[in-house]
């Protein structure tokens, strides 16, 4: 089956002990997904606007190895836009629970730009897999910078994962660093505004 958000939450498994897994992580924008480098992905998470067709590289994966969340990059569900909710964060946790050292080698997470929804989703998955919030964001930023994780999705993830605000605090640190190093992109978050910027600088 294709994993989607469901009504059943994973409350009973919040505190399951976990050991961080060793695997390749890719965080991409929609236009980048069909690149040859993504063909090695063993699992994929797609966060796209409702009705957006999945790229071939994702659709060709076995259904049990991919998760589709149809949400807008929004903080609130208004004006016909569907913001991420608790069911979406729960679906990410459920999907993370299917991953193990035997079946996970390369996790690809994508949204439309690879900066907001996918960054938040990847961080939630990493925390569910045993990473601390700070370490999870560092892992995400190591492969995709700058990022501006979707706050609403992280709020639900923080609650489901019993982070007691640690996930949100770590995200605020990321926001501050991006505002300091990528002020022009924060004001104009289009792909072309990053062309002249050193993409690793924000990790300083």
Q: CATH number of the domain that 174 lies in?
A: 3.90.190.10
Inter-CA distances, 147 with 5, 27, 89, Å: 24, 10, 19
- 57 in a domain, yes or no? yes
- 105 in a domain, yes or no? yes
CA 5 to chain centre: 15
- Predicted TM-score (pTM) of the model is 0.85
CA distance 64 to 161: 23
Whole-number pLDDT of residue 188: 66
Q: Residues 14-52: pLDDT tens digits?
A: 545 455 678 999 999 999 998 766 789 999 999 999 999
The more confidently predicted of residues 197 and 68 is 68
Instruction: Specify which residues 44 forms β-bridges with.
Output: 66, 108
For residue 180, what pLDDT band results from cuts at 50, 70 and 90? confident
Whole-number pLDDT of residue 25: 96
- 5 in a domain, yes or no? no
Whole-number pLDDT of residue 189: 63
Could you tell me the residue range of the domain that residue 143 belongs to? 17-203
Q: In the structure encoding, which two tokens stand for residue 138, read together?
A: 């560092």
Looking up tokens 């796209």, which residue turns up? 48
Whole-number pLDDT of residue 51: 96
For residue 198, what pLDDT band results from cuts at 50, 70 and 90? very low
- 7 in a domain, yes or no? no
Relative orientation angle of helices 151-160 and 117-128, to the nearest 10 degrees? 10
| Alpha-carbon radius of gyration of the chain | 16
Mean pLDDT confidence for 121-129? 97
Question: How many Cβ atoms from other residues are within 10 Å of residue 122's Cβ?
Answer: 30
Mean pLDDT of the chain: 85
- 3 in a domain, yes or no? no
Please name which of 155, 29, 134 lies closest in space to residue 84, comparing C-alpha atoms.
155
Q: Residues 54-110: pLDDT tens digits?
A: 988 899 999 999 999 999 999 999 999 999 999 999 999 999 999 998 899 999 999
Mean pLDDT confidence for 171-196? 74
Q: How many domains does the chain have?
A: 1
């Amino acid at each position: 089956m294709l994993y989607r958000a469901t009504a059943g939450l994973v409350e009973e498994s919040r505190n399951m002990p976990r050991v961080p897994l060793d695997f390749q992580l890719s965080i991409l924008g929609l236009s980048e997904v069909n690149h040859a480098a993504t063909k090695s992905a063993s699992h994929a998470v797609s966060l796209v606007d409702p009705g957006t067709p999945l790229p071939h590289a994702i659709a060709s994966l076995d259904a049990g190895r991919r998760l589709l969340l149809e949400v807008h990059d929004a903080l609130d569900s208004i004006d016909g836009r569907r913001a991420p909710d608790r069911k979406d964060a729960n679906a990410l946790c459920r999907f993370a629970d299917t991953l193990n050292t035997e079946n996970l080698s390369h996790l690809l997470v994508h949204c439309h730009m690879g900066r907001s929804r996918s960054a938040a989703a990847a961080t939630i998955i990493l925390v569910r897999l045993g990473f601390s919030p700070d370490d999870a964001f560092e892992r995400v930023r190591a492969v995709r910078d700058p990022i501006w994780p979707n706050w609403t999705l992280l709020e639900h993830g923080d609650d489901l994962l019993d982070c007691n605000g640690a996930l949100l605090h770590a995200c605020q640190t990321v926001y501050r660093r991006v505002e300091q190093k990528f002020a022009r992109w924060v004001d104009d978050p289009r792909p072309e505004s990053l062309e002249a910027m050193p993409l690793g600088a924000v990790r300083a």
